[in-house]
Structure 1
């Protein structure tokens, strides 16, 4: 790892953080994950079965379990994605050898043996101490099927379904709170018009009963990018029957869905394009939030960004239907920038899920047989644990340089400042420039500063650098000490294309 100690050529930047001006809570649920029955996201990624030679606990890979625990994953969305709207929950309960084999028609036309079902998913949530987020089947399901799944999950009485749960090994109800009522109902979830889906949502929502007092948080299927009319119609017609509405946005480096660009060995044009397009999340979140404000000015309904990340061409030699890609430093910075945007809008955005957790799209973790590697994006989520359930602080970006490529420019810095319940200030800050170090002067007002108790950084020699099974720690978090504290002013020297986290007391 190469860090710049001589910063004579560093560009100068100035930021003011008002520590006495708390804006909104940054929910830990913004840092959620997504595990779909897609490629090797479940099978081989987390679930190998108890008879596997890969070290496991109850069939779950030990290495992956520990990595997820260390990340303090707050929630995981399952079983999809597109897969959710062809999933029938009864296929995945009971003795594993008696479960039906179905075809995963969305992702590779592979056989799905249903060995990982409701009990296996919810046991995983217990093992990593995360909240389950279950996407219900609207596209090919029925309100009755959804209602009976909720009863199976949450009822503590003596009904037939509750007793079936007990026969399958679970005495107490799980108390699942977060449910998605369909997924991408405008596309793979049924190709519905917004008018049709709004009526259908109201029908389904009518049968979302809170069994045994277990409160539900219902997320309606939203749309993507600038499709603001869908959000407005849903809020107008069904806003009183939802707790959240979703938004999806994927960074496509080339802006061409048919040729997205590689996840390895790319040049600065695709680096800049990826970084630049990640900034569009700010426009889209604000645009959808504005439509929501027309019907919900008090922001009672949450925006749930339950699919986001960079989507590239499949990794060479893999099944195209499995959506496997590598994960570079560029992708890690896309993650840090996106998280900064979601944090900025935390008055409305209260849950999000990066796509996806293991082996699929912008994954936290890659596996191959008994080998596992943490991606650069994993390390960004590690750095950003500093913001879980904190208060967003008011910030003035006083003097900020730009990163220019050819004839376009973007602000060179991205950051989130927050304060936890102990009064400690957490700062994450990203230098987007691949060429120029940045000197950043951060003045903290409204709170006396004693010391910097923690400094960590993720950086690399090149924006296309990756971790591999042969070199799993090429990119990893290192201690960051290239800063000084003078009174209430912190001056830090950020190397090119890096993200740092500081804790201030």
Structure 2
């Protein structure tokens, strides 16, 4: 098939909503080797660390400008009791992590260690509280322990454990997946609990909580509506009650079924296109949840939070099935790029998103191997190339690319995806050619402002299955890209996109 061509119009003087930096959030659960062997190696480890936290992981992640980190789960959050993870480590009680591998958890990484990690990363903490097996008092005490200045029972306990001043902890999850591993609740029952828990998760001092209610799986719009009814009324213009400020949902991308999700590295074009088609579905899901929320909150005061997203494959052969360790290919990177384009388009309602997960689990940023090597994944590079979108103003990208599609079942994958933003008079365009076989010539028609000399980078490889290993860590890595040229009238940019590629273009505006 011949290479395709098309146009994309961007009105540079018509800026849209701010793209919240929190759309580039991350997730670290007590699952497999995400915490132990990933973030945490202990103070006695020969691997360079600060207080037991692995420094090469921190240094790599700081280059992404990580805005927030969600912890301790996931499903683990609703069996985690925070008081087991404070005080001298040798005296902390142990537990069995029944959700993930049925292994013993020694609680050496707890509240103080997590807060130290967030400090090193420069990230806002997002703590997911225990609603499934915990109590209202337990979560209320945790908020007080972390954030209350002055004198109080929990503030005194914090000082006994070595921390005088409170921390700033803005984000609190009121449970996790309460429709499933977080308690198998009905929406109506959880809605009452969300109001109750939110009431006792209080603002202390100048720490203002952003409470996030545990929302739906996939397209369960009825769950979203049940929760929105707790804070507002149908079609009215009243200000929503201030029980929670965010409402979450979860969506994972797979190629097959949950029983046979497919291999992370061994796949053909059919699975490749099906994966990206399923990733594309996140646009419709965000639109659906947003539409329900708009009925009850037309002023969009409550943020939508996609605090678990990413690809989910069969685990790497020979690893513990409960540890969810998978490789990460160029296909995963293109899934990430597609998601971010969707996120940017929904910036007015979508406030936060957290990829699952940061280290060694599912669609990770970094992998650590048994030789203590650190591997940056293709997905890591998309986050790094895209970081200029954080807190920028979104720009609409009007695409017209005839024939840019691949049939997938009864649907079609749009094989070109793009988004753009402006921050500090700098334009950043992200564009993906998702076609596995054909190149694409795309002309960006830039209107309203003049763009200066551009720079560009590309992330691609010889095949979508390409991935990085300890022996070949740079197989999929960004490089300078010379396939972008000024148009003849000097009013735009013409980009020659090879198959299965992700490109960013940056230019100053005047």
**TM superposition score normalised by structure 2:** 0.95
The question of whether the paired residues in 2 share the 8 Å contact of 1:401 and 1:411 is answered with no
Q: Deviations over 1:166-205 (max 9, x none)?
A: 1211111002110000000000000000010001111111
Mapped to 1, the partners of 2:286 and 2:319 lie a distance apart of: 33
Mapped to 2, the partners of 1:399 and 1:380 lie a distance apart of: 23
2:361 aligned with 1:337, yes or no?
Answer: no
2:186 aligned with 1:193, yes or no?
Answer: yes
The question of whether the paired residues in 1 share the 8 Å contact of 2:329 and 2:466 is answered with yes
Mapped to 2, the partners of 1:82 and 1:464 lie a distance apart of: 30
Mapped to 2, the partners of 1:109 and 1:10 lie a distance apart of: 51
Partner residue, 1:391: 393
Partner SS for 1:16: strand
The question of whether the paired residues in 1 share the 8 Å contact of 2:6 and 2:443 is answered with yes
2:136 aligned with 1:143, yes or no?
Answer: yes
For structure 1, list consecutive stretches of 5 or more residues without a partner in the other structure: 1-7
Partner residue, 2:285: 284
Partner residue, 2:110: 117
Mapped to 2, the partners of 1:279 and 1:226 lie a distance apart of: 14
1:289 Cα deviation from its structure 2 partner: 0.4
Partner residue, 1:349: 350
Task: Find 2:377's aligned residue among 375, 384, 407.
Answer: 375
In the TM superposition, structure 1's runs of 4+ consecutive aligned residues that sit over 3 Å from their partners are 405-409
Mapped to 2, the partners of 1:161 and 1:237 lie a distance apart of: 30
Mapped to 1, the partners of 2:408 and 2:506 lie a distance apart of: 36
Partner SS for 1:221: strand
1:404 Cα deviation from its structure 2 partner: 2.2
Partner residue, 1:173: 166
Which region of structure 1 is more displaced relative to structure 2, 462-471 or 28-37?
Answer: 462-471
Task: Find 1:164's aligned residue among 157, 163, 184.
Answer: 157
Q: Deviations over 1:432-487 (max 9, x none)?
A: 011111111001111112221x2111001111111111111111010112111132
1:400 Cα deviation from its structure 2 partner: 4.4
Partner SS for 2:12: strand
**TM superposition score normalised by structure 1:** 0.96
Mapped to 1, the partners of 2:309 and 2:56 lie a distance apart of: 25
The question of whether the paired residues in 1 share the 8 Å contact of 2:178 and 2:185 is answered with yes
Q: Deviations over 1:2-53 (max 9, x none)?
A: xxxxxx9531110100111112110110000000000101000110011001
Partner residue, 1:219: 212
Mapped to 2, the partners of 1:78 and 1:499 lie a distance apart of: 30
The question of whether the paired residues in 2 share the 8 Å contact of 1:198 and 1:238 is answered with no
Partner residue, 1:412: 415
1:406 Cα deviation from its structure 2 partner: 7.1
Number of corresponding residues: 495
Partner SS for 2:128: strand
The question of whether the paired residues in 2 share the 8 Å contact of 1:401 and 1:412 is answered with no
Task: Find 1:491's aligned residue among 491, 494, 497.
Answer: 494
